[in-house]
A and B are shown apart, each in its own frame.
Chain A
Amino acid sequence: MTEIGSSDLGATPAKLPTSVRRQPGVARLWFYLLLLPPVLWLGLLIILPHIQLFILSLKEKVAPRVYTYGLDNYIGFFNEPLYWMTLLRTATISILATALTLVIAFPVAYYIAKMLRGRTKNLIFVLALLPFWVSELVRTLGWIMLLRETGIISNTLLSLGLIPERVELLGNDAAIITGLVYTSMLFMVVPLINSLDSLDDSLIEAAYDLGGKGVAILREIIIPHAMPGIVAGSIVVFMLTLGNIVTPAFLGGKNSIWFTDQIYQKFIVRFNWEQGSAFGFLLLITSSLVVWLGLKLTRQSLAKTIT
């Protein structure tokens, strides 16, 4: 009652403070509203499923519909050589494919970033991206056309008389690596071009002027400058490669199973979600470990890469 009375008497001075006080409240509401999508996205799509997976991975089936909790799913992984050998192989080949992608992408990125100018530069850049407008599935099928026994390469070699009979180029690690490198190129080239673009040409010229030669300049000037791009590209490519499922499944054979395929088998074929979850976690741990080791070895940090 008193409040109504006072606001009736001195309308403006009483109202003004409330409207001012309301402003920060509105701002805060907006802040939370804007924060909502990323929080929902992180929470619903990443954190929640992972918690669920983690709980699932600790469940053990003792009898139909009877579960206890324990580390059996993880112990099972280490007791079966097929499992951990596959993971080890997958990680090794992924590292190899990442390194190969870097080695191939670097000259390409350097050429686009440093040697080309103006419109040609944009044109070549777009041309380099062009294959990635097609879905990964189609691109992988393209490689099958090339590599299979009755494929283009085999036929060409045969008609040239270079081989006595047709060869099967699919179903081995080399085929997988080829496909993975091809699929990953974009994710390496783009960050590399970004970091090389910011390298001042006069630094390279100064190094020459002071007596430097090609390899020394590459090692001491260009690579250190491009390091954030190299790290970013390598992490992305490694993660994508390790978690890839299409390319290894299509290009690999029975002797080169990818770890993702094992997870798929557990979930979909065996319907063993518990062990599948454990495998999923092991993959996550492996990739984190490799990335961490890689950063340590090259004395880089994620923070440096982002800034």
Chain B
Amino acid sequence: MNDTQIPDLETTDVVKNFGATVAVDQVNFEVKKGAFFSILGPSGCGKTTLMRMIAGFEGPSSGDILIRGSSVIDVPPNRRPVNMVFQHLALFPMMNVAKNIGYGLRRRGISGKEIDRAVDAVLERVGLPGMGPRKIDQLSGGQKQRIAIARCLILEPTLLLLDEPLGALDLKLREQMKIELKQLQAEIGTTFLYITHDQSEALVMSDQVAVMNHGRFEQVATPQELYYRPNTSFVAGFVGDANRWSGKVETVSGDELRLHGQGGVAIVATAVGGISVGMDVEIFVRPESVFISRAEAEIAEFDNKIEGAVDSLLFDGGRSSALISVAGDDRDISVALPQTGQFSNLQAGEKVYLGWQADQTRCFAANNVGS
């Protein structure tokens, strides 16, 4: 019973220094059993380093890593109940598919017949039955992907680590594998720790996402929370698209702030973290939070109101948007176009009215700006 209470993975104050560079800085988090946990961050933020410490290829400079409640700092990688899908898959080209998948079981000294049966079963599970005799270079990118995962799953690890496993695939296949991976994880119930720099991958697949920057975790939350309630300006800027202004706070009442953005746009916003009058801040508004209308009356109820002219239309099917130029701001405001049809005949140069609420306008102190 108590088993479910112990997290599959827990790190406490993990730090990794490479000489003067701090690759991972005071990272604390836990991953619950059966969860799909993603670490999202820009290139070079320390994701791989963190994962390599969990797999055992790198020792932390300080801090502790616990798997199922016991420290694994002194356990070598070949005896950790963790398996890793490498960034470039690392399938063994000198072996065929069946030999690749059976590798781990062979190392455990399991009999040949049993291995064959297990290999067939796991091939079935990843949707590639009968592929055993194939050579690695006879597989497509997506098939290699699945073989690399099968090679780990056959060992029934407590925790499966995946380091940007979709990075090498083309866009179409990536979209498809995203869904397949999520379904596979839900089916088998293995805990996944997934690394990516692609926010869409993290948002679509995960139960929990940690956003990492410069070796630190900025925020650990569900995808919805990250998207709608980012805690730092880095998260707000990195996850999803956003219109961004900087400015100086003029008045504060409770959580509500008033200020003029650079260029002179008047903004009513919600403060995140302690913010006082006179502070330099950054303001973020999602394109889909901005209401667009041709009639001024329709935006009357919004906290923020502005009028502008269509500068250009960016058609992208269901995700089409418009760039609106407003008086007094040299940068255009990006607005998601509703797909109900009334804007299908929108023309460049047309006059429009924009409105958005203060609680969807998040404001952060400017000193913790990310990259």
For the complex, what is the distance from the CA of A225 to the CA of B94, rounded to whole Å?
Answer: 7
Q: Which of B76, B78, B82, B88 has the most CB of A within 10 A?
A: B78
Q: Which residues of B contact A202 (CB under 8 A)?
A: 86-88, 90
| B107 & A209 in contact (Cβ 8 Å cutoff) | no
| B78 & A208 in contact (Cβ 8 Å cutoff) | yes
Check if B155 is an interface residue, CB within 8 A of chain A: yes
| A210 & B87 in contact (Cβ 8 Å cutoff) | no
Check if A284 is an interface residue, CB within 8 A of chain B: no
| Of the residues A207, A208, A216, contact of B92 by C-beta under 8 Å | A207
Check if A206 is an interface residue, CB within 8 A of chain B: yes
| Of the residues A203, A205, A212, A224, contact of B107 by C-beta under 8 Å | A212
For the complex, what is the distance from the CA of A203 to the CA of B87, rounded to whole Å?
Answer: 11
Q: Which residues of A contact B338 (CB under 8 A)?
A: none
A-B contacts counted at CB < 8 A amount to 60
| A205 & B86 in contact (Cβ 8 Å cutoff) | yes
Check if B55 is an interface residue, CB within 8 A of chain A: yes
Interchain nearest-CB distance for A208 vs B (Å) = 5
| Of the residues A200, A205, A221, contact of B77 by C-beta under 8 Å | A205
Check if B337 is an interface residue, CB within 8 A of chain A: no
Q: Which residues of B contact A212 (CB under 8 A)?
A: 78, 103, 107
For the complex, what is the distance from the CA of A205 to the CA of B86, rounded to whole Å?
Answer: 9
Q: Can you give 28 A-B contacts (C-beta < 8 A)?
A: A200-B88, A202-B88, A203-B90, A205-B77, A205-B84, A205-B90, A206-B84, A206-B92, A207-B92, A209-B56, A209-B77, A209-B78, A210-B78, A210-B103, A210-B152, A211-B79, A211-B104, A211-B107, A211-B155, A212-B78, A212-B107, A213-B78, A216-B107, A220-B94, A220-B95, A220-B103, A221-B92, A225-B94
**For residues 35 through 57 of chain B, which have their beta carbon under 8 Å from a beta carbon of chain A?**
55-57
| Of the residues A205, A211, A220, contact of B108 by C-beta under 8 Å | A211
Q: Which residues of B contact A216 (CB under 8 A)?
A: 107
Check if B83 is an interface residue, CB within 8 A of chain A: yes
Check if B151 is an interface residue, CB within 8 A of chain A: yes
Closest B residue by C-beta to A223 = B94
Q: Which residues of A contact B56 (CB under 8 A)?
A: 209
For the complex, what is the distance from the CA of A212 to the CA of B83, rounded to whole Å?
Answer: 12
Interchain nearest-CB distance for B57 vs A (Å) = 6
| B84 & A207 in contact (Cβ 8 Å cutoff) | no
For the complex, what is the distance from the CA of A85 to the CA of B95, rounded to whole Å?
Answer: 43
Give me the 9 closest cross-chain CB pairs, A-B, nearest first.
Answer: A206-B90, A210-B104, A224-B94, A211-B107, A202-B90, A202-B86, A208-B77, A211-B78, A208-B78
Query: Known contacts being A202-B88, A209-B83, A212-B103, is A221 close to B78, with CB within 8 Å?
Result: no
For the complex, what is the distance from the CA of A205 to the CA of B82, rounded to whole Å?
Answer: 13
A interface footprint on B52-84 (CB within 8 Å = 1, 0 otherwise): 000111000000000000000000111100111
Interchain nearest-CB distance for A241 vs B (Å) = 29
For the complex, what is the distance from the CA of A221 to the CA of B106, rounded to whole Å?
Answer: 14
Which residues does B use to contact A, with CB under 8 Å?
Answer: 55-57, 76-79, 82-84, 86-88, 90, 92-95, 103-104, 107-108, 151-152, 155
Query: Known contacts being A209-B83, A212-B103, is A221 close to B94, with CB within 8 Å?
Result: yes
Closest B residue by C-beta to A222 = B94
Which residues does A use to contact B, with CB under 8 Å?
Answer: 200, 202-203, 205-213, 216, 220-221, 224-225
Closest B residue by C-beta to A212 = B107
| B83 & A210 in contact (Cβ 8 Å cutoff) | yes
For the complex, what is the distance from the CA of A168 to the CA of B84, rounded to whole Å?
Answer: 58
For the complex, what is the distance from the CA of A26 to the CA of B82, rounded to whole Å?
Answer: 66
For the complex, what is the distance from the CA of A82 to the CA of B88, rounded to whole Å?
Answer: 59
Q: Which of B55, B57, B87, B94 has the most CB of A within 10 A?
A: B94
Interchain nearest-CB distance for A9 vs B (Å) = 61
Closest B residue by C-beta to A227 = B94
Q: Which residues of B contact A213 (CB under 8 A)?
A: 78, 107
**Apart from A205-B90, A209-B84, A211-B78, 15 more pairs, CB < 8 Å:** A200-B88, A202-B88, A202-B90, A205-B86, A206-B84, A209-B55, A209-B57, A209-B82, A209-B83, A210-B78, A210-B107, A213-B78, A220-B103, A221-B92, A221-B94
Closest B residue by C-beta to A216 = B107
Interchain nearest-CB distance for A198 vs B (Å) = 11
Q: Which residues of B contact A200 (CB under 8 A)?
A: 88, 90
Interchain nearest-CB distance for B263 vs A (Å) = 49
| A210 & B94 in contact (Cβ 8 Å cutoff) | no
| B83 & A207 in contact (Cβ 8 Å cutoff) | no
Q: Which residues of A contact B151 (CB under 8 A)?
A: 210
For the complex, what is the distance from the CA of A207 to the CA of B92, rounded to whole Å?
Answer: 9
For the complex, what is the distance from the CA of A225 to the CA of B108, rounded to whole Å?
Answer: 23
For the complex, what is the distance from the CA of A224 to the CA of B93, rounded to whole Å?
Answer: 10
Q: Which residues of A contact B77 (CB under 8 A)?
A: 205, 208-209
For the complex, what is the distance from the CA of A287 to the CA of B87, rounded to whole Å?
Answer: 45
For the complex, what is the distance from the CA of A209 to the CA of B104, rounded to whole Å?
Answer: 9
Q: Which residues of B contact A225 (CB under 8 A)?
A: 93-94
Q: Which residues of B contact A203 (CB under 8 A)?
A: 90, 92
For the complex, what is the distance from the CA of A207 to the CA of B76, rounded to whole Å?
Answer: 13
For the complex, what is the distance from the CA of A224 to the CA of B55, rounded to whole Å?
Answer: 25
Interchain nearest-CB distance for A201 vs B (Å) = 9
Q: Which residues of A contact B90 (CB under 8 A)?
A: 200, 202-203, 205-206
For the complex, what is the distance from the CA of A244 to the CA of B150, rounded to whole Å?
Answer: 52
Interchain nearest-CB distance for B164 vs A (Å) = 13
| Of the residues B57, B76, B155, contact of A210 by C-beta under 8 Å | B155
Q: Which residues of B contact A209 (CB under 8 A)?
A: 55-57, 77-78, 82-84
Q: Which residues of A contact B103 (CB under 8 A)?
A: 207, 210, 212, 220
Interchain nearest-CB distance for B128 vs A (Å) = 19
Interchain nearest-CB distance for B203 vs A (Å) = 28
Interchain nearest-CB distance for A225 vs B (Å) = 6
For the complex, what is the distance from the CA of A206 to the CA of B88, rounded to whole Å?
Answer: 11
For the complex, what is the distance from the CA of A221 to the CA of B151, rounded to whole Å?
Answer: 15
Q: Which residues of B contact A208 (CB under 8 A)?
A: 57, 76-78
Q: Which residues of A contact B108 (CB under 8 A)?
A: 211
Q: Which of A200, A206, A211, A213 has the most CB of B within 10 A?
A: A206
Q: Which residues of A contact B78 (CB under 8 A)?
A: 208-213
Closest B residue by C-beta to A225 = B94
